[in-house]
Structure 1
Amino acid sequence: MLKTMPDPSRLPSSATEAPLDDAAAVSALRSAVMRLSRRLKHQRVDESLSPTEMSVLGTLAGCGSATPSELARKEHVQPPSMTRIVALLEAKGLVRLEPHQEDRRQKVVSPTERAEVMLEESRRKRNAWLSELVGQLSEDEWETLRAAAPVLEKLARM
């Protein structure tokens, strides 16, 4: 059964548990989120794609078609890097480029059906992996994690 995490404001820092100060709590949160993110990134369906390529496909799936410049801003990369990433994804048949409706000098990037199927399979695999981990938590830990999910989502979107 699903279990929960300890109170996030507390973490064992020595033989006795003591509340974390804000700096320690931020550090613990950063570290935990980064480790979990790295582990989730390894749960991919297509190992030939880089994490950045998967992220671009995920952004397209979530936000819809975009120009390479818009994608570069959303992904926090330089436009020339995004141009290379889009070219790689196009060569793999995962995105298509179409003329921009208002500015014919620009292209609009859209995911192909193949990309959408691959992303759905990848989500299923990651969700199954994470569900297995969550199943090892106590009920209280799981309740705490469920309550924290919307807050973590808010932080991710800020």
Structure 2
Amino acid sequence: MRLARRMRVERADTSLTLSQLSALSVLERLGAMAPRELAAAERVAPSSLTRLVASLEEQGLLTRTPHATDGRQVLLAASPAGVALVREDRRRREVWLARELDRMPPEDVAVLRQAAAVLDRLACS
């Protein structure tokens, strides 16, 4: 999709992959969770997250803390630096999108709003 490529251009300067940014965004939005919960939210196998989580932790963007009641489990959370990175990335893309929407005729914006609602339902199914 050309729009997805265009939105990637607006990303904050970062060396993160889209998968890393997506996982970090989930943690920023939903809060701390077990690795298997993050895997489910990202719709990937838990084993696929191992390297991704290690990389984010190494960069200081993610923290692991022991689970309060299950000593075998850990909780993953976006660190303050991770939260700041996700929010700046989101802000930059939102600024670009708002600027572009302001340039469009109102009827085109209305069509996009309807399409966005349909796409959101599709993504959540």
Q: TM-score, normalised by structure 1?
A: 0.72
Q: How far apart in 2 are the matches of 1:110 and 1:40?
A: 25
- 1:118 counterpart = 2:85: yes
Greater relative CO (CA pairs within 8 A, separation 6+):
1
* Matching of residues 9-158 of structure 1 within 5 Å: 34-158=1-125
Counterpart of 1:45 in 2: which secondary structure?
coil
* TM-fit CA distance, 1:155: 1.8
* TM-fit CA distance, 1:139: 1.7
Q: Which moved more, 1:98-107 or 1:40-49?
A: 40-49
Q: Mark the structure with the bigger radius of gyration.
A: 1
Q: Which runs of 5+ in 2 are unaligned?
A: none
Q: Which moved more, 1:73-82 or 1:129-138?
A: 129-138
Q: TM-score, normalised by structure 2?
A: 0.88
* TM-fit CA distance, 1:69: 1.4
Match of 1:20 in 2: none
Pick the structure with more helix per residue: 2
* TM-fit CA distance, 1:88: 0.5
Match of 1:12 in 2: none
Q: Deviations over 1:62-95 (max 9, x none)?
A: 2211111111121122222201111100111111
Q: Which runs of 5+ in 1 are unaligned?
A: 1-33
* TM-fit CA distance, 1:102: 2.5
Q: How far apart in 2 are the matches of 1:81 and 1:68?
A: 10
Q: Deviations over 1:91-141 (max 9, x none)?
A: 111110001123211110011111111111111100112123223322211
Identity level (%): 38
Aligned length: 125
